[in-house]
Amino acid sequence: MKETGSTNADLLAASRQGAKEGVVLLAEHQNAGRGRQGRTWHDSPRNALLVSWLLRPVQSTVTVLPLLTGLAIADALKRAYGAEVGVKWPNDILSVPTNGGPERKLAGILAEASIQGDDLAVVIGMGLNIEFRDGVPDEIADVATDLASLISGPVPERLELLTQILISVENQLQLLETAGVSRLLDRYRSCCVTLGREVRLETPGGVINGRAVDIEESGALVIETSSGRVSVSAGDTHHVPPSDDAG
């Protein structure tokens, strides 16, 4: 569709009317895009891939779906376009320059669940910057990047990019089903650029500082803090640059 409020909101509403697993909703522009932690997600028309898809998973896999999605997107971008990207826990897709330059956000993911009786629906929404045709907007210039800046070949068409990503999502869902969550998380760990780093986690319960050391089976991030290990299941991660390290 050309414009909507939020593809996630639309698909959640459709899921309550019985929409089937696998329905995909794509918009050219959202005027009430939703981001993680209750934030608003702004886009400039025609720059981004704004899409949501519907899953009807078994309850036990729900908490790993955001991580699975991050892994799948990073994998698709590397495999199909040679982009140097990684996943910041839980699922921001970052550029990871090999020359040690700053990491910047390329895509964000928002997973939202709806339960009606025994019916569980999870809507996965992704906003990915394909190309800032009019330059990077000032307010995000220090933190955001686009796919066009990360690849040497032609910038992919929106539908071709979406196809690559959905194939990759399907592959990871198959892996989860056939090999189980620990195999999936092994793959996630290898593309997660948060592990081994000093982090500042903004969680609903407050700020946690420490070193990110592992991912639990639930998808929670384990942090080694000055007072022991804590695991965090939701929050915003900030990678602390080495010069800012406490010690």
Query: Judged by CB under 6 A, which stretch of 48-56, 65-73, 173-181, 203-211 contacts ligand BTN?
Result: 48-56
CA torsion angle for 78, 83, 88, 92 (degrees, to 10)? Answer: -100
Q: Answer whether 108's CB lies under 8 Å from 36's CB.
A: yes
* 197 is a site residue for ligand BTN (CB under 6 A): no
The SS3 call for residue 85 is: strand
Nearer to ligand BTN, 125 or 235 (CB): 125
The full length of the chain comes to 247
**Least CB distance from residue 117 to ligand BTN, whole Å?**
25
DSSP-derived pairing of the beta strands 29-30 and 3-4: parallel
The SS3 call for residue 209 is: strand
Query: Judged by CB under 6 A, which stretch of 59-67, 107-115, 181-189, 238-246 contacts ligand BTN?
Result: 107-115
- Return the residue of 33, 57, 86, 156 that touches ligand BTN, per CB under 6 A: 33
Q: Answer whether 125's CB lies under 8 Å from 25's CB.
A: no
- Return the residue of 109, 195, 215, 221 that touches ligand BTN, per CB under 6 A: 109
Nearer to ligand BTN, 12 or 220 (CB): 12
Q: Is the peptide bond before 90 cis (omega within 30 degrees of 0)?
A: yes
Positions touching ligand BTN (CB under 6 A) are 6-8, 30, 33-36, 39, 41, 50-52, 92, 108-110, 125-127
